[in-house]
């Protein structure tokens, strides 16, 4: 039987190694990524709900699986990761790592009996030109959720989970934050805006209670560079609490948004520990 480390490596290799660069200007690759994710979810026994829409004349899909809750089924705990890439990059860390984590979280949670409903969503079109103002997949999803009246108690955006560095000075920060956080990039970060700080505290507490991997947290105004640069922003704008789970992207990873963001550069042992911790934390939040 394969280990979680081996499965994470396989997911990233398929998405970033075999399929590679995937966005609306490479629609076949984008569809191939969606088909792979759908196939992995279905192989775990999930029914996959597709939210389809057109962007730049290309059919695009958000892919959702759900584990219904029992006593508090109307309350939703949601985790998501975008599967598209920026043009010119195969996107191993950004964001095949997040999607691989999402698939393995689904594997871990499929047998739980949560009180709250758990939803796991693979989002399309996070990267430019859709980011912030375009037809961003998470914006389409969050807008529809708000219109339905969905009670999303927390949204986790899995945004780059695969880069860890232990050498001194390997971690950078915006503004003055370097005085308050480690200078080694060997931790996972939980980041939110100020309105989501309670959800941030609950998630970080749950993660630390179930995982010994180093974790840091930050609640910050959204204008701090990097804080709002992923799918959680779409949920903030829809009035939901959201937390980004990240290896801190360009503050640590020198291959961010480049052609060298390739599968062999990721740290799968550490990534496996983080994903297992996230699965346990989500289970705790849902039960």
43 has pLDDT over 70: yes
| pLDDT at res. 76 | 98
| pLDDT at res. 2 | 84
What percent of the chain has pLDDT above 70? 100
Is residue 54 very low, low, confident or very high in pLDDT (cuts 50, 70, 90)? very high
| pLDDT at res. 205 | 98
User: What is the average pLDDT score of the chain?
Assistant: 97
Tens digit of each residue's pLDDT (9 = 90 or more) over 272-286 = 999 999 999 999 999
| pLDDT at res. 132 | 83
Tens digit of each residue's pLDDT (9 = 90 or more) over 111-140 = 899 999 999 999 999 999 999 877 999 999
Reference 83, options 27, 33, 17; nearest CA is 33
Answer whether the bond into residue 129 is a cis peptide, omega within 30°.
Answer: yes
Domains: count for the chain: 1
Q: Is 239 left (phi over 0), alpha (psi -120 to 50) or beta?
A: left
User: How many angstroms separate the CA atoms of 16 and 96, rounded?
Assistant: 6
| pLDDT at res. 204 | 98
1 has pLDDT over 70: no
- Here the CATH number for the domain that contains residue 145 is 3.40.630.10
Tell me the pairing of strands 242-246 and 188-192. Answer: antiparallel
Residues with Cβ within 8 Å of 29's Cβ and at least 6 positions away in sequence, in order, are 19, 20, 21, 22, 23
Cβ(215)–Cβ(130) below 8 Å? no
Tell me the pairing of strands 49-55 and 116-123. Answer: unpaired
User: How many angstroms separate the CA atoms of 79 and 157, rounded?
Assistant: 6
Is residue 175 very low, low, confident or very high in pLDDT (cuts 50, 70, 90)? confident
Domain that holds residue 138: 4-286
Q: Is 274 left (phi over 0), alpha (psi -120 to 50) or beta?
A: alpha
| pLDDT at res. 261 | 98
98 has pLDDT over 90: yes
Q: Please state the pTM of the whole predicted model.
A: 0.97
Is residue 107 very low, low, confident or very high in pLDDT (cuts 50, 70, 90)? very high
Is residue 25 very low, low, confident or very high in pLDDT (cuts 50, 70, 90)? very high
């Amino acid at each position: 039987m394969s280990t979680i480390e081996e499965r994470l490596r396989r997911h990233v290799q398929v998405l970033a190694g075999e399929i590679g660069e995937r966005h609306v200007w490479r629609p076949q690759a984008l569809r191939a990524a969606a088909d792979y994710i759908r196939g992995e979810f279905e192989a775990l026994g999930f029914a996959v709900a597709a939210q389809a829409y057109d962007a730049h004349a290309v059919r695009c899909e958000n892919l959702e699986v759900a584990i219904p809750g029992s006593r508090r089924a109307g309350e939703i705990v949601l985790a998501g990761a975008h599967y598209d890439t920026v043009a010119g990059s195969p996107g191993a860390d950004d964001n095949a790592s997040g999607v691989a984590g999402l698939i393995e979280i689904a594997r871990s949670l499929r047998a739980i009996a949560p009180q709250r409903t758990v939803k796991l969503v693979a989002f399309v079109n996070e990267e430019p030109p859709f980011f912030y103002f375009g037809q961003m997949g998470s914006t389409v999803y969050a807008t529809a959720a708000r219109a339905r009246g969905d009670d999303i108690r927390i949204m986790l955006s899995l945004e780059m989970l695969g880069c860890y560095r232990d050498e001194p000075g390997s971690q950078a920060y915006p503004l003055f934050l370097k005085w308050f956080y480690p200078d080694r990039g060997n931790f996972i970060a939980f980041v939110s805006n100020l309105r989501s700080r309670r959800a941030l505290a609950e998630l970080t507490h749950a993660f630390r209670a179930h995982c010994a991997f180093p974790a840091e947290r930050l609640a910050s105004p959204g204008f701090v560079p990097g804080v709002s640069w992923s799918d959680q922003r779409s949920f903030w704008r829809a009035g939901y609490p959201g937390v980004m789970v990240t290896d801190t992207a360009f503050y640590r990873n020198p291959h961010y948004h480049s052609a060298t963001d390739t599968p062999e550069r990721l740290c799968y042992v550490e990534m496996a520990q983080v994903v297992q911790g996230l699965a346990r934390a989500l289970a705790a939040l849902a039960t």
